[in-house]
Amino acid sequence: MISYLLQDPAKPVHAMAEGVDQYGQLTKLASTFSHVDNLFYFTYVVCIFFFVLITGVLFYSVVKYRRKTFDQPAVSNRTHNTPLEVVWTVVPLIIVMVMFAWGWKGSLDMTVVPADARQYKALAKQWNWTFFYPNDAVPSSGELWLEVNKPAAFTLESSDVLHAFYMPSMRVKRDVVPGRFQTVWFQPTTEGEFHLFCAEYCGKDHSQMYAKVHVVSADVYRTRPWDTWDDKNPKKGGENLYKSLCASCHTINGTKLTGPTWKDLWGKQEQVVEAGQIKTVTVDEAYVIESIRKPDQKKVVGFEKANMTAFDDKVIDEKRVKGIIEYMKSLSNAGSEKK
Amino acid sequence: MTTNAPAMGVATGSHDTVKKNYLEISKGFWSWAGTLDHKRIGIMYLIGVSLALLAGGVFAMLVRLHLWKSTGVLFDNATYNQIFTLHGVFMVFIFIIPAIPGSLGNMVLPLMLGAKDVALPRLNLLSFYLWLSGTCLALYAIVAGGFDTGWTFYAPYSIYTNQAVVSVGLGIFLLGFSSIFTGLNFIVTTHKLRAPGLTWFRMPLFVWAIYATAILQVLATPVLGITVLLVAFERLYHIGIFDPRLGGDPVLFEHFFWFYSHPAVYIMVLPAFGIISDLISVHSRKPLFGYKLIAFSSIAIAMISFLVWGHHMFTSGQSSYAMFAFSFLTFFVGIPTAIKEFSWVATVWKGSIALNSPMLYTLSFLIIFAIGGLTGVILGALNVDIHLHDTYFVVAHFHYVMMGSIALAFFAGVHHWWPKMFGVMYSEFYAKIACALIFVGFNATFIPQFIMGSRGMPRRYATYVPEFEGFHQASTIGALVIGTGVALMVGNLVLSIFTGKKAMQNEWGGVTLEWLSPTPPPLENFYEQPIVTTEVYDYTTLDLRTTQTPCS
Ligand SMILES: [Cu+2]
Ligand SMILES: [Cu+2]
């Protein structure tokens, strides 16, 4: 347990530029959903008003009507005051009905996707996010790029349990329900980096199911910054893939997370369980490919109970798998250099 | 309330020597373990739920300490998840739901009705043992690998996780039956065993509240029982009710779960309302403002609370019409609750206010509950809830209601009826200090959570983004203060049993029937059947000879 602290898990680094709004209560709004903030502060002020009223009367009474002698009776035994009771029923009723209508109107805005919205897909898995861009073969994991002032709509899919797509600065949240398609949309208004959290508890690494969202100008967006692949340097591409897709379970420094470390993995004689039988295999290209595509086929001894997410060729195609292998080679003594 | 029973004045004379009180009348393990006396069962519940509270509190402290740093301090993620789940399950199912009805309800309800016992004493004992078995199953589940689903058991995670979900599920099933039986018992008792002259509108509000709660317990809890059973079946036999891989629907689970668990919020909070109503009246020595309105609003809340469960699912993708109805009704149910709060404050107004420890807890309740209720209004608004749902804002909100209000009302009630239960008084000085510590610590813990939540800190996080570290640390310090306060409170109460001075028959100057029975009460509560001839909370009839009614 404690040792968990001492290791250096290659977890996503959360460097943020969000800040808070001028009242210091909410994250700074970065989308067009300002009605959320307006209603929030309206209710906030109403609440403070009633809170001050209630505690004020309470403190005043406690001081003023404090029992000073043993047999002191109450000043008044009145138990009714019809006008007062009508007022304190009707006034709050009117106020909450205003809040209700306002909130309802706002929530409708949040469900009606504008026609010019870009259609993305967010795939939630225990415990990472993968994003698919409209008419673009290259997905990205753990990071997302959006264009500023352009409405973005997401189809949300889960491949295992419930998750929730939550971006505080955009004021959006939507559960990701396995077996259903949900949508969520917003229009980012500020360039910068923003948090995307998983807000629905989804198991062990729920708190690390994080993605960094880059809202960039149209010019930057056009360069497809999510496509970091460079045919000249597959190892670098493999390292990037490792960081976004594999680092949550595999380390490169010898410590164990959910999965075995990659340090000195390449070329190693590995004990695995296949169909109930213990075997020894060499970690080579075929084995690594199988581990990525069908992780349940051969389970590493000591990790039989742990599960790895399978990655098909839509997420990691052949050349990228090669890139990962190049990167893996560099981590073992058999490989040439060390990263 | 006056009564024609002779022994109701200063309790001296032959009766005292002839009749032993319920604590002394018999001795030995079985005289407790097999007892049918509602008071002894109440004491057993009190001990049980208090231990559950302490266990839940230890888990809470572990959670808070772990979150001192954004990377987490004490545990790996999996262990953290188990700890917060244990905290939730212990506090909700094993502590709060049975706490007030089981301990104070059992203890006080028959006394307030002028009855000898509850209507079904054997069922009462069975309720207790079901509670105990349910608790044991939950404890067993810890040993058998733990469980990490959160107290909400959301499918399909609860179906896939390889942990002891089935045993906790069965535990909760048993706890549910315990709750149903308690509810049934109190309904029958209230209908059948009221003292002559004790009409419905002469009943103390604690009785009304327990009665409204009982209705909810009987009507809502079966749904929980069925739901956890379905989860267990799904895990064992893969039927395909909630598991999407088999064609099931995880959202259906949410509907089932909240169909129970929203009313359950009122199962927890109505008894607290009852305690507060009663205590405010006694310690302000003034009839309750708007008695009938409070009584009816309890019933109204009980009814409407069945129709608002969807407000826990505003982000789950339910239809816009459902959202419309659920949000509307949620705001609507706020009104009777607001009426209660206003009526309590109006009762204090122009009263004769004794600032003793039960009253301090009560006043703390009023302040904290105001915050808990008002922040609930913020959450009721649809678009705002979408931002705040499943963040620390919600965590803070429901802790203001569950811990800050319900647990404080429970503490208030325990301090208030302690002299009646045990015949001794604790140290008022330490009780007040404990109350102050809990109040301050509580706000220090949860105000930072409101701020974090509105800035987007999601709940159930073992690690978090570093910008929230300061708030988490403030919250942890607050929790340590609460812990100190609770330890002081428990120590003070327990010590009083051995060293406390003897309590008066009517320690606080109450006029409900429980104060007319000797302290501690005899086995059958009253030497003679009390008869009620006056209206409820009529302090003009208070016999000051039976009471000490300290001024502060
Ligand atoms: Cu999650
Ligand atoms: Cu609810």
Nearest to A74 among B284, B355, B467 (CB): B284
**CA–CA separation, B480 and B460 (whole Å):** 20
Question: By the CB < 8 Å criterion, does B78 face chain A?
Answer: yes
Contact (CB<8Å) B352/A27: no
A-chain CB neighbours of B380 within 8 Å are: 96, 99-100, 103
Assign B158 to helix, strand or coil. Answer: helix
- CATH assignment at residue B259: 1.20.210.10
B-chain CB neighbours of A68 within 8 Å are: 551
* Contacts (Cβ under 8 Å, ≥6 apart) of A203: A126, A127, A161, B81, B148, B157, B161
Nearest to B363 among A5, A58, A166 (CB): A58
Question: Could you give phi then psi for residue A279, rounded to 5 degrees?
Answer: -135, 165
pLDDT at A12 over 50: no
pLDDT score of A8: 40
What pLDDT, in 10s, does the model give residues A113-137?
999 999 999 999 888 898 999 988 7
* Mean pLDDT across chain A: 86
Contact (CB<8Å) B77/A180: no
B446 CA distance to ligand 1 middle (Å) = 23
Nearest to B387 among A76, A99, A171 (CB): A171
**CA–CA separation, A46 and B90 (whole Å):** 35
In a domain, B330, yes or no: yes
A278 CA distance to ligand 1 middle (Å) = 34
B-chain CB neighbours of A110 within 8 Å are: 383, 386
Neighbours of ion ligand 2 (CB under 5 A): B 262
User: Residues B405-444, buried b or exposed e (16+ Cβ, 10 A)?
Assistant: bbbbbbbbbbbbbbbbbbbbbbbbebbbbbbebbbebbbb
* Contacts (Cβ under 8 Å, ≥6 apart) of B155: B231, B234, B242, B243, B248, B250, B253
DSSP at A13: P
Q: Which residues pair with A167 in a beta bridge?
A: A172
In a domain, B4, yes or no: no
Percent of chain A with pLDDT over 70: 93
Domain total for chain B?
A: 1
Q: Using omega within 30 degrees of 0 as the cis cutoff, is the peptide bond preceding A127 cis?
A: yes
In a domain, B22, yes or no: no
Of residues B68 and B9, more confidently modeled: B68
Of residues B207 and A335, more confidently modeled: B207
A242 CA distance to ligand 1 middle (Å) = 21
pLDDT band at A227 (very low <50, low <70, confident <90, very high): confident
Tell me how close the Cα of A96 comes to any Cα of chain B, in angstroms: 6
Domain extent, residue B238, equals: 37-547
**CA–CA separation, B467 and A15 (whole Å):** 9
| Of residues B320, B398, B338, the one with CA closest to residue A96 | B338
Q: Give the residue on B whose Cα is nearest the Cα of A14.
A: B465
Mutate to test the interface with B, among A173, A205, A209 (most CBs of B within 10 A): A173
B-chain CB neighbours of A40 within 8 Å are: 378, 381, 384, 387, 454
Q: What is the pTM of this model?
A: 0.84
B-chain CB neighbours of A22 within 8 Å are: none
A-chain CB neighbours of B82 within 8 Å are: none
A-chain CB neighbours of B79 within 8 Å are: 1
B-chain CB neighbours of A63 within 8 Å are: none
Contact (CB<8Å) A92/B154: no
pLDDT band at B12 (very low <50, low <70, confident <90, very high): very low
B-chain CB neighbours of A75 within 8 Å are: 350-352
In a domain, B9, yes or no: no
Percent of chain A with pLDDT over 90: 49
Segment holding B498, helix H or strand E:
helix B469-499
Gyration radius of chain A over CA positions: 28
Q: Give the residue on A whose Cα is nearest the Cα of B359.
A: A62
Question: By the CB < 8 Å criterion, does B73 face chain A?
Answer: yes
Average pLDDT of the residues in A286-291 = 91
Tell me how close the Cα of A182 comes to any Cα of chain B, in angstroms: 7
A198 CA distance to ligand 1 middle (Å) = 4
pLDDT at A17 over 60: no
What pLDDT, in 10s, does the model give residues A132-161?
999 887 788 889 999 999 999 999 999 889
B253 CA distance to ligand 1 middle (Å) = 17
**CA–CA separation, B545 and B509 (whole Å):** 10
Contact (CB<8Å) A96/B391: no
DSSP at B149: S
DSSP strand E in B337-429: where?
424-425
pLDDT score of A334: 58
Q: Using omega within 30 degrees of 0 as the cis cutoff, is the peptide bond preceding B156 cis?
A: yes
* Contacts (Cβ under 8 Å, ≥6 apart) of A217: A147, A148, A191
DSSP at A20: B
What pLDDT, in 10s, does the model give residues B97-154?
999 999 999 999 999 999 999 999 999 999 999 999 999 999 998 888 888 999 998 9
Contact (CB<8Å) A207/B544: no
Tell me how close the Cα of A233 comes to any Cα of chain B, in angstroms: 32
What pLDDT, in 10s, does the model give residues B501-539?
888 888 888 889 999 888 889 988 998 889 998 888 988
| B205-237 vs B250-284: helix crossing angle, rounded to 10 | 160
Question: By the CB < 8 Å criterion, does B397 face chain A?
Answer: no
Q: Give the residue on A whose Cα is nearest the Cα of B379.
A: A40
pLDDT at B90 over 70: yes
Of residues B392 and B142, more confidently modeled: B392
pLDDT score of B548: 62
State which amino acid sits at residue A107: S
Average pLDDT of the residues in B338-354 = 93
Contact (CB<8Å) B390/A205: no
Total residues belonging to chain B: 552
**CA–CA separation, B38 and B212 (whole Å):** 20
Residue B382 token pair:
């649809």
What pLDDT, in 10s, does the model give residues B36-49?
999 999 999 999 99
pLDDT at A198 over 50: yes
Longest dimension (CA), chain A: 93
- Cβ pair B102, B45 in contact under 8 A: yes
DSSP letters along A215-278, please? Answer: EE-HHHHHT-TT----TT-HHHHHHHHIIIIITTTB-SSS-BSSS---TT-TT-EEEEEETTEE
| Of residues B548, B547, B546, the one with CA closest to residue B10 | B546
A-chain CB neighbours of B544 within 8 Å are: 70-71
Q: What ligand has the least distance to the C-alpha of B263?
A: 2
- Cβ pair B474, B444 in contact under 8 A: yes
Q: What ligand has the least distance to the C-alpha of A201?
A: 1
Mutate to test the interface with B, among A2, A29, A204 (most CBs of B within 10 A): A204
**CA–CA separation, B69 and B462 (whole Å):** 10
pLDDT score of B135: 95
* Mean pLDDT across chain B: 90
Question: By the CB < 8 Å criterion, does B316 face chain A?
Answer: yes
First to last CA, chain B: 24
- Distance (Å) of CA A211 to CA A13, A131, B253: 10, 10, 28
In a domain, B369, yes or no: yes
- Distance (Å) of CA B107 to CA B3, B215, B475: 21, 19, 35
A175 CA distance to ligand 1 middle (Å) = 10
In a domain, B27, yes or no: no
- Distance (Å) of CA B297 to CA A65, B72, B218, B276, B336: 28, 44, 19, 15, 5
In a domain, B13, yes or no: no
pLDDT score of B549: 52
A-chain CB neighbours of B76 within 8 Å are: 1, 4
Q: Cα A72 to chain center, whole Å?
A: 60
- ipTM score: 0.90
pLDDT score of A45: 95
pLDDT at B304 over 60: yes
In this complex, how many residue pairs, one in chain A and one in chain B, have their CB atoms less than 8 Å apart?
Answer: 301
pLDDT at A16 over 50: no
Q: Pairing mode, if any, of strands A192-198 and A163-167?
A: antiparallel
Neighbours of ion ligand 1 (CB under 5 A): A 163, 198, 202, 206, 209
